[in-house]
Structure 1
């Protein structure tokens, strides 16, 4: 069940990042319509493992973009 949820959330995150230069953690959570940080990180973990995103820290905040 959790694996299925991770895949769905990863899709929402990918859609929010598609055709952008990237987003901050706060922007991404809002755009992907995620309520909890744990859901955001679950989806980000999936995308990181699949090597679909790059992460960095900008002004102390997590920044995510598609590869």
Structure 2
């Protein structure tokens, strides 16, 4: 896996999250067809870019698009 593949996988995840609902990690994995390490890298990419919100509830991880408001 290289940076290009991670970026492409991040794009897949962003497209799934683009409906602005909260997805469980398992739902993202199932619907994206990515393996754990591929999904983890893609989520890390999106988190580093401040594009997603990650929430932990009990034993489940949830992901949604972040709302970034910049006033310039």
TM-score (norm: length of structure 2):
0.84
| Whole-angstrom distance in 1 between the partners of 2:32 and 2:20 | 13
| Whole-angstrom distance in 2 between the partners of 1:28 and 1:61 | 12
Higher gyration radius (CA): 2
Instruction: Tell me how far 1:65 sits from its aligned partner.
Output: 0.3
**Bigger shift: residues 42-51 or 55-64:** 55-64
**1:3-57 deviation line (CA, Å, top 9, x unaligned):** 10110000000011111311000001112121x1000001001000100001011
RMSD: 1.2
Tell me the equivalent position of 1:8: 8
Unaligned runs of 5+ in 2: 67-72
| Whole-angstrom distance in 1 between the partners of 2:16 and 2:31 | 6
Runs (4+) off by over 2 Å: none
Instruction: Tell me how far 1:58 sits from its aligned partner.
Output: 1.9
SS in 1 for 2:33: coil
